[in-house]
Amino acid sequence: MTTRRTFITGISALALSACGGAPSLPGPSARIPDDLRPVRNADYDAWVAAFRPRASAKGISAATLNAAFAEAGFIPGVVTRDRSQPESAYSLEDYLSIAASPERISKGRAAFARHRATLNALETRYGVDAEIITAVWGLESQYGEKRGTVPVISATSTLAFDGRRCAFFERQLIAALRILQSGDTTPARLVGSWAGAMGHTQFIPTSYLAYAVDFTGDGRRDIWSDDPTDALASTAAYLAKSGWQRGLKWGGELGAAGTPAGRTLTPQSGGPSFAVTANFGAIKRYNNSDLYAIGIGHLADRIAGGAAIQGGFPPDSNGLTKGDRITLQQRLTARGFDTGGTSGVIGPKSRAAIKAYQASTNSAVTGTPSRALLASLG
């Protein structure tokens, strides 16, 4: 099974000529950034022409191909993003600051309340905890707020043409064409992330074909609708088929009330430890990352009214605690240097703000947070 982590990360790079200044093709949404709009590219067009017989041999009809590629094109921004993916350097503390932020918990509780009847029905049908389904929804698309607007046919065909993982992305493209041929959606509605992950819970096309369900009974497995029912049901079906055991908790912080017996895991040196069960493994089938699985489990617990992590985390490699980093971001922001938020996670915007501040004070421009930098801000 290919998970979203495998799908989006670990893709090696090949050079491809730039296409700046190419004329835009008609697109399905004005919300798409300019660099994520399909553009004309002769080499891409030649690749599509060569691809058509391969698709036909796999049962894709000429009508489906014609409809799918009528407004498709090469997307420069897909290639740029694919080549510039950084290796994950998040600590568990940083990851949980994002995955189980106060905003995500609050929105999760509200979403759970709005869709309680559906989520309870899914738990009854598939055996997957309603809060776990909600947490996946929250991490994958902020409860449907960030589902993606990039045309999937253009995205997957661009990545297949680009040659970095051409066989893999051609399989995703064929799967996307099969989705269209089945009548589940239309080319205009077949949108997702720049890498082709789709809907409320970001299914890749092959996972959609394997696990998506029509829970509403309208004859379509509609994970793109504003109504999240089919998407949430598809996630429940995915986890159930991945070995989720009804009634078994995913795990929890070691020593906390309600934590089941299980394998011990300490993802961050000096940080809290967790006991995890077989259902932790089922979550990892959705995304093969310990941090992701802990993030899902902990967010689910918080949505259900559970406590925050009780164990402490050590200072980071720069000697700063999370409280120090939050103070640093607050002080930079107060001086007019935008850090993009004050979560305590030092990301690209915070580093850019640090560099701008350092330049303004004629200091060495490193972008690195430090205790000296914090002190200099007062």
Q: Where are the alpha helices (DSSP H) in the chain?
A: 4-8, 42-57, 62-69, 76-83, 92-99, 102-114, 116-126, 130-141, 152-162, 166-182, 205-211, 229-241, 278-286, 290-303, 322-334, 348-360, 371-376
Name which of 73, 70, 68 is nearest 181 in CA terms.
68
The tokens of 129 are what? Answer: 């905890």
Bridge partners for 151 per DSSP: 191
**Rounded to an integer, what distance in angstroms lies between the CA atom of residue 301 and that of residue 296?**
9
Q: Which residues of the chain have pLDDT under 50?
A: 1, 4-30
φ, ψ of residue 133 in degrees (nearest 5): -60, -45
Which domains are seen in the chain, by residue range? 4-85+148-197 (1.10.8.350), 92-145+238-303 (1.10.530.10), 322-376 (no CATH)
* Sign for the pseudo-dihedral over CA of 28, 189, 207, 64: negative
Closest CA to 3 of 131, 98, 111, 136: 136
For the residues of 32-100, what is the DSSP string, one character each? S-GGGS-B--HHHHHHHHHHHHHHHHTT--HHHHHHHHSS--B-HHHHHHHHTPPPP---HHHHHHHHT
Total-model pTM = 0.90
Other beta carbons within 10 angstroms of residue 352's beta carbon come to: 15
pLDDT for 84 equals: 81
Beta carbons of 272 and 310 less than 8 angstroms apart: yes
CA dist., res. 108 & res. 300, Å (int): 9
Beta strands in the chain (DSSP E): 150-151, 191-192, 251-253, 263-265, 274-276
- The alpha carbon of 364 is separated from its chain's Cα centroid by a whole number of angstroms, namely 35
**Which residue, 295, 309, 303, is CA-closest to 105?**
303
The single residue listed with the structure tokens 């906390």 is 256
Run of H or E including 315:
none
Residue 21 CA to residue 79 CA, distance in Å, equals 16
Rounded to whole angstroms, the maximal C-alpha distance in the chain is 68
Q: Give the three-state DSSP class for 198.
A: strand
Sequence-distant (≥ 6) Cβ neighbours of residue 312 within 8 angstroms: 271, 272
Q: Strand locations in 157-207, DSSP E?
A: 191-192
Name the token pair of 291. Answer: 């941090």
Contact status, residue 293 vs residue 98, Cβ threshold 8 Å: no
Checking DSSP bridges between strand 191-192 and strand 263-265, what pairing results, if any? unpaired
Strand partners, 39: 24, 74
Q: Phi first, then psi: give them for residue 59, nearest 5 degrees.
A: 95, 10
By the 8 A CB rule, do 77 and 24 touch? no
Task: Quick: pLDDT tens for 30-49.
Answer: 478 999 999 999 999 999 99
What is the dihedral sign for C-alpha 89, 160, 286, 185?
positive
Residue 198, sorted as left (phi over 0), alpha (psi -120 to 50) or beta, turns out to be beta
Cα–Cα separations (whole angstroms), residue 76 to 13, 40, 44, 73, 176: 14, 10, 11, 10, 20
